[in-house]
Amino acid sequence: MAQAARRELASIDVSDPHLYQDDTWRPLFEQLRRDDPVHYCEASPFGPYWSVTRYDDIFAVELDHGTYSSSSELGGIQVADQPKGQERVSFIRMDPPGHTAQRRTVAPMVAPSNLANFESVIRKRTCDVLDALPRNETFDWVERVSTDLTNMMLATLFDFPWEDRAKLTWWSDVAIANVDSPDAVVHSEDERFEEMMKMGEYFRKLWNERVDARPTFDLISMLAHSDATRNLQNREFIGTIGLLIVGGNDTTRNSMSGGLMALCENPEQFELVRARRELVPNLVSEIIRYQTPVLHMRRTARHDTELAGRRIAAGDKVVMWYISGNRDESKIDRADEFVIDRAKPRQHLAFGAGVHRCVGDRLAEQQIRILWEEILNRDLRFEITSPPQRLYSNFIRGIRTLPVRIVS
């Protein structure tokens, strides 16, 4: 019996994208956290890898970038290796000191001291989007709200041509697509690479316009005028732009959609925040924890090491499953429940930790906060009219469509 249990445990592969598209991932991670929290999967479509499933162990890996590398040269940040010759190098796929210098270039744009400058424009756009929603009919929340708001914010950050801003959402979808999915926006790595090259060509024109101009406060100008990024080679240029697009788009839009779902499924929590508006910041953190829009980040062991009693060899893939760490009952009380008045709402791993913590975390929180403030100001109530369509991915916990209607 013990042997059979061990065989069953060894066969678990949480890299299967179907688990997240079908929303059936919870039991497997619960089993791993309980019985094998640092778990070795010997055979998967992405090769062998370690799964780190508990909060504290994930945190330990995040903080030890000397042992656990993000380097593109060692495989990068996803359980799936990037195709040889098509690697998208960027600062998220670097270790210090290169990572540090490039991150510092873009950090001022989304620093807390600058967020006040965005407040009024985000609020006006949010009001316009909400006021334009149809009454008494079903619409797609993802298209009409989540995608529209994040797309406009991205265009602002890049000072991107407004009439072409839909391209930003398209490139984000291309960058994260699982090419094996029948409904993917691209169906091969070569097709993805071709679309990313088109993105690079478009942004290179903007770059060339700004590199010799007076510096302005947008991401392209900041990259063009920084010593750390002004001489990026084409592949690193494409990787950096792609990172900023995905980072500014997918995490926020999927949290906006996941937040609406969570409140529709937990109406008592919606009534609580309606009665106690001071809980809106808590609501934002709980939405991000509960959704966990980035399912995992991968590191590669630089040398032999030990984690939670397991021997990890140099070169091994080590995958930190944020989606599991954020449901770790040993760290977070009632972790599998959506609770907006919990004692430590900001205790979650959805933004990562350490040197690679999400650089735009406070901007994401700001956008989600303003959205719910304005929903509450209008006393809007929503109901989900049919099940959501989820993204086929083991990296982004995405919601592709969410049919809803306003009921008040």
Residue 84 predicted with pLDDT over 80: no
pTM, to two decimals: 0.94
DSSP string, 260-285: HHHHHH-HHHHHHHHH-GGGHHHHHH
Which two structure tokens, joined as six digits, stand for 257? Answer: 């959609």
How much is the pLDDT for 1?
41
**Residue partners of 46: CB distance under 8 A and separation at least 6:** 15, 79, 80, 81, 317
What is the amino acid identity at position 232?
L
Q: Which helix (H) or strand (E) holds 75?
A: none
Pairing of β 296-301 and β 317-321: antiparallel
Per-residue pLDDT band at 273 (split at 50, 70, 90): very high
Please tell me the number of Cα atoms within 13 Å of 188 on its side-chain side. 3
394, 180 contact by CB (below 8 A): no
CA–CA separation, 315 vs 140, rounded Å? Answer: 44
* Per-residue pLDDT tens over the stretch 199-216: 999 999 999 999 999 998
Please check whether residue 349 is in contact with residue 226, taking contact to mean a CB–CB distance below 8 angstroms.
no
408 — pLDDT class (breaks 50, 70, 90): confident
Angle between helices 234-265 and 166-176 (to 10 degrees): 90
Res 10: pLDDT: 83
Residue 56, beta-bridge partner list: none
Domains and CATH numbers, the chain: 2-406 (1.10.630.10)
**Per-residue model confidence (pLDDT) at position 119:** 94
Q: Quick one: tokens of 117?
A: 């400058």
Point out the least confidently predicted range of 28-37, 88-97, 320-329, 351-360.
88-97
Q: Each residue of 85-141: pLDDT tens digit?
A: 666 677 778 788 888 878 888 888 888 888 988 999 999 999 999 999 999 899 999
